[in-house]
Structure 1
Amino acid sequence: MTKPSLPPDYFEALYQADPDPWRFAESAYERDKYRDTLEALPRPRHASALEAGCSIGVLTAALAPRCEALLAVDAAAAPLEAARTRCAGLPQVTIRQAVLPRDWPEGRFDLMLFSEVLYYLDAADLDRLATRVAEALAPGGDILLVHWTGETDYPQTGDAAAEAFCAALAPRAEVTLRQRRPRYRLDLLRGR
């Protein structure tokens, strides 16, 4: 039996126990991953970007200078105050609580970033998310996936989630870059 998507309560409990449970602000793994994430972006600027799973906003703050408008969302409310504080001087950033794919935002995006989030979803929610992404992707827009490739106790592994997501988007977007690092992978898709 497959595991269901992780609920917001799971993440709320993590953040109640530790305001930075994955050490986004201090780990070398995260710092290297953020550098590689930004280097993988094929354009210097994006008009409208969506970052799923923004957490405390470390990657959000690094991504913001490359976006005219950046909507950063997270399923948990607990980390969003830290994200707002970190991004307070970045007027192009909007931070909002949203459980994807259910609370999909309105608008079209020429960049969507899913870093360390897809494996929290079961297959049905991953398919629903792919449908939402396909509908909201601006023509020629980019989708960047970045996921841990080690063992997980989540509904999916990073490899399985990334492969399934890319396959679901194949009619609307093609993979233009696939990179593997020792502990994570990056997949860049371009809208057709």
Structure 2
Amino acid sequence: MTGSTPPSHFDRLYRASGDPWQLSTSAYEAAKYAATLQALPRARYAAALEVGCSIGTLTERLATRCDAVLGVDFVEGALVTARARCAHLPGLRFERRAIPAEWPKGRFDLIMLSEVLYFLSVEDLHAIAQHCGSALMPGGTVMLVNWRGPNDGTMAGDAAALTLLQALPAGWRCQNAALLPQYRIDLAEGP
């Protein structure tokens, strides 16, 4: 994760608060999650990968649309909360991984990159784009959700989204599904 926000930054945030972004209590987050699910182009997915799943608030909602979801994060404390939140749901599992270096094996028809890209370096965004190219099943979707306001990451949310979209393999179809003052939602599908 060269040049990316270091894991120690997130460890500090989660030690100070179990929900540092109020993901489970914020009306804004609830509305954004609803918009995220509404923007998905398919009603159902077989296998989803959620990068940066945090405490599992979006993961829990994805479970209503996916047969299986793998949530990954590199903060074990967040994953403990995610596992407890989603213990009642079948088909969900959580793993501690540093993305992109520890990209999971397997293929997915949905790869969710929500509120994580602007914490990564340009190099890591390019690596994630390459992983998406090899891990996305035919007809699958890569979804990007990015905060557009000030953040404590490495770049603005718009720059992060555009950097990743431009780094995807040639022939991918990309479209913006929502562009609000607070956040943007982008979709990409392989050839």
Deviations 1:14-55 (A, max 9, x none): 100100000000111101110000000011110110001111
Distance in 1 separating the partners of 2:153 and 2:55: 21
Residue in structure 2 matched with residue 64 of structure 1 by the alignment: 63
1:183 aligns with 2:182: yes
Distance in 2 separating the partners of 1:38 and 1:164: 23
Distance in 1 separating the partners of 2:81 and 2:38: 25
| CA displacement at 1:120 relative to structure 2 | 0.5
Residue in structure 2 matched with residue 117 of structure 1 by the alignment: 116
Asked if 1 retains the 8 angstrom alpha-carbon contact of 2:47 and 2:108, the reply is: yes
Distance in 2 separating the partners of 1:172 and 1:38: 25
* Aligned counterparts, 1:34-183, within 5 A: 34-183=33-182
Against the structure 1 CA distance between its residues 82 and 93, is the aligned structure 2 distance closer, same or farther, given a 3 Å change threshold?
Answer: same
SS at match of 1:50: strand
Gaps of 5+ in 2: none
| CA displacement at 1:68 relative to structure 2 | 1.0
Distance in 2 separating the partners of 1:63 and 1:122: 27
Distance in 1 separating the partners of 2:53 and 2:7: 14
> TM-score, normalization: structure 1?
0.95
Asked if 2 retains the 8 angstrom alpha-carbon contact of 1:176 and 1:190, the reply is: no
Distance in 1 separating the partners of 2:177 and 2:61: 22
SS at match of 2:22: coil
| CA displacement at 1:4 relative to structure 2 | 1.6
Residue in structure 1 matched with residue 19 of structure 2 by the alignment: 20
Asked if 1 retains the 8 angstrom alpha-carbon contact of 2:176 and 2:184, the reply is: no
Which structure 1 residue ranges, 4+ long, deviate > 4 Å from structure 2? none
SS at match of 1:155: coil
Distance in 2 separating the partners of 1:89 and 1:62: 13
Residue-pair matches, total: 190
Distance in 2 separating the partners of 1:16 and 1:153: 17
SS at match of 1:113: strand
| CA displacement at 1:151 relative to structure 2 | 2.0
Gaps of 5+ in 1: none
Against the structure 1 CA distance between its residues 115 and 180, is the aligned structure 2 distance closer, same or farther, given a 3 Å change threshold?
Answer: same
Asked if 2 retains the 8 angstrom alpha-carbon contact of 1:177 and 1:187, the reply is: yes
Deviations 1:73-119 (A, max 9, x none): 11211111110011001120011111100110000010000000000
SS at match of 2:142: strand
Q: CA RMSD for the aligned pairs? A: 1.2
Asked if 2 retains the 8 angstrom alpha-carbon contact of 1:47 and 1:68, the reply is: yes
SS at match of 2:131: helix
| CA displacement at 1:178 relative to structure 2 | 3.1
| CA displacement at 1:67 relative to structure 2 | 0.8
Asked if 2 retains the 8 angstrom alpha-carbon contact of 1:144 and 1:186, the reply is: yes
Aligned amino acid, residue 90 of structure 1: L
Asked if 1 retains the 8 angstrom alpha-carbon contact of 2:119 and 2:152, the reply is: no
